[in-house]
Amino acid sequence: MPLRLFRIAFLAGLTWASRVQQHVFDVEHDNPFPRLNFLSASPHIFHSTFGLLQQWTNTFVTNGHTIAPCVIGTNTNLYHARIGSTLPPSPEWFAFDSEMSYSIAGTGLNSYLLTYRTTRPVRCIYFDGTSASLMNDGSMESQMLLLHNDSSNVPDSPAFGPPPSSPRDGTDFCRPGYPIANCTRWNFLQAEYDRASGLCKLIREQGLGGLGWGYEGIVRMNAGFELIWCNFSSPSARLVSHINVSAPPVDDEHNPQAAQSEPGGVQSGTPPQPYYGYGDRGRSDGPHGRSPFPLGPFRESSTYEWFRSATKRYGFVGGAPGRGEARVRINSGSLFSFYDPALVDQESARQALEQKHYNITAHGYWRGPASTDDRRAALRELTRRRRYQRIRNITKSDGVFMRSTVLQRLRQSLETERPYSSGIDWVLAVEEVVARYGIALHDISAALSTTVSESDRTKLRATMRRLRESIHGTWIAYYEYPVLDRGNLRRTFSLNAPVSQAALERCRNQVESFSTSDLSDSEHVTYRAILAVLAAICGTLLPVFLSTETLWFTYFNNATVSPHVTLTAESKTELQSITQHNLDAVEELMAWLGWMDQWTACSPGCGWGQTCYIPTWPAIGIMGRPGPGSNGTGRGYPRRGIGMDALEKYLWQPRCIDSAHFPPQD
């Protein structure tokens, strides 16, 4: 415990520079802004907590760092599609949206969709990030570490692999439970089934759940949210519908078996054989892989419907609040974060890597661009740094702490007789902070950029007014205007003035807990991160606010001044110098926070019937589907697979799309 406390203290998010005020502030000799520690875990813990169960944020930060207890509400519908009419074995998968389930396994010519409904609140374990994406990119690391204890024990194997051979008779290409003879040789999703079985086994062996009690499933995300269901015999979810969703096929020379289909699309006779063997590398059916079954007419359009259903769970976009996966509720008093400074070796490795890569000092201070004079590009890299963070340095000692802590918090979450945490909704707390400052920071940065470059006095006053209004909005609840001393405005708006210090204290403590003794160990980690984030935001924005007020009352408060009255050269120099200094501080704050997802959006907003597209594996879109420029052939694009790398640009420059333009094409 002392080591953990020492580590936490060492990683404190902020150190403070001198605040002596000589002018508005002297940019040569004084810096009123906090020095931001870019090696601190605080902004990452904050942002990770904010993104829980949000499709949008977790698509930007695919490598999850949080394990959380969760609950699925009573009367929630869950969907499972499969080839054939048999009931699923255990464990298997549910989707929370029927479109997701249908697109994965419902578009064949003998496909069934099963709908289950929860009969009670169902406890679950949630892994954040795109924890269901088979991309070998770090998405699965938190799950594998929980199963294998430390990084050295995690098997070095791909998420899924190629078959050992590629026969054309189809006998090797099937999944357990499918009604096909000789389905014993190879399952390209075997690693997924092993992972699901391992997690369910862990729950059972640790006494955390079983048939109808405790934790019964694992919530993960790729394009939408899914649930690994440990036991389909559980009374916690009841089968309410079991229907054949096969649609009559389109006659096609590429699908010779289609003509043999019975009404309703059910295949007659013996089980179908694949018409595209897995060895046929010239054909890709998109994110689902190469199917061993004849496909129905909605195979391609179903991918768009799957994508569109996932967008309903985007959550916060562009700083504006939205619903994520609301059918699952997080117990935010029992979170485990892989950013916890108690994971000493993991944290040290992350810091060492980022110190070198981003040109950061040993104390966490950013030196500026290392190999380029492009400050904006360097800040962009800093802002996006969390996207590339991995959990690859969990040593045996880290692993012991991780596993014991996760299991302890899962057990505590099961207890209902005595409270083990404060009851504060920490996810809601961080969402409120983002809702308050996400858009505001973007607007303040934009206004400062415009002010720096403006020279016309009339336009300059208008931009200063917009800046003043934007920054004032962040201080409404905290700053009480003093009586103006027009003979000494710099003293009135000094950072050291009592009203300024009182405002800073109110701002920094806007989520202060009345009694920290009521907080659990998990809550202390989250709480400290929130306080560090608020200290950075408030400590940066207050000098911007005060200097803006001083400039306004010095040069612009008189609305009757003729626009032909120009500022002196000295005044212009002071104004531009102060504004540039403020802009630099706000940009560094935004980079430190790393809210890249909230400062990326479709602009302008999408029209009726459109959706803001970011590439979300596996529903990224299928090339070759009917679309513009088809020349009557119905095949507008060449049929080929799409990699996520090819669509990376749409993550940072999202596009508005509809079904006819999915995925976007340049």
**Residue 425 has which token pair?**
């909704």
Give the angle 301-303-307 at the CA atoms, nearest 5°: 120
Tell me how far apart the alpha carbons of residues 665 and 622 are, in angstroms, rounded to a whole number.
11
Task: Write down the pLDDT at residue 514.
Answer: 83
Provide mean pLDDT across the span 29-44. Answer: 90
Task: Write down the pLDDT at residue 663.
Answer: 85
Q: Which of 438, 348, 470, 467 is nearest to 397 (CA)?
A: 348
Q: Which of 8, 2, 3 is nearest to 37 (CA)?
A: 8
Q: Distance between alpha carbon 265 and the CA centroid of its chain, in Å? A: 39
- The pLDDT confidence band at residue 372, using thresholds 50, 70 and 90, is low
Tell me how far apart the alpha carbons of residues 652 and 425 are, in angstroms, rounded to a whole number.
31
3-state secondary structure of 612: strand
pLDDT tens-digit profile of 68-77? 999 999 999 9
Q: Is the pLDDT of residue 14 over 70?
A: no
Helix, strand, coil percentages (3-state) for the chain, rounded to 5, are 40, 10, 45
**Residue 181 has which token pair?**
């003879």
According to DSSP H, which parts of 358-497 are helical?
375-383, 396-414, 426-453, 457-473, 489-492
pLDDT tens-digit profile of 241-296? 999 999 888 775 455 444 444 433 333 333 332 222 222 323 333 333 344 455 78
pLDDT tens-digit profile of 457-498? 788 888 999 999 999 999 999 999 999 988 899 899 999 999
pTM of the predicted structure, to 2 decimals:
0.85
**Residue 13 has which token pair?**
């998010």
> Which of 109-118, 128-137, 457-466 has the highest mean predicted lDDT (pLDDT)?
109-118
3-state secondary structure of 311: helix
Tell me how far apart the alpha carbons of residues 188 and 202 are, in angstroms, rounded to a whole number.
23
- The pLDDT confidence band at residue 159, using thresholds 50, 70 and 90, is low
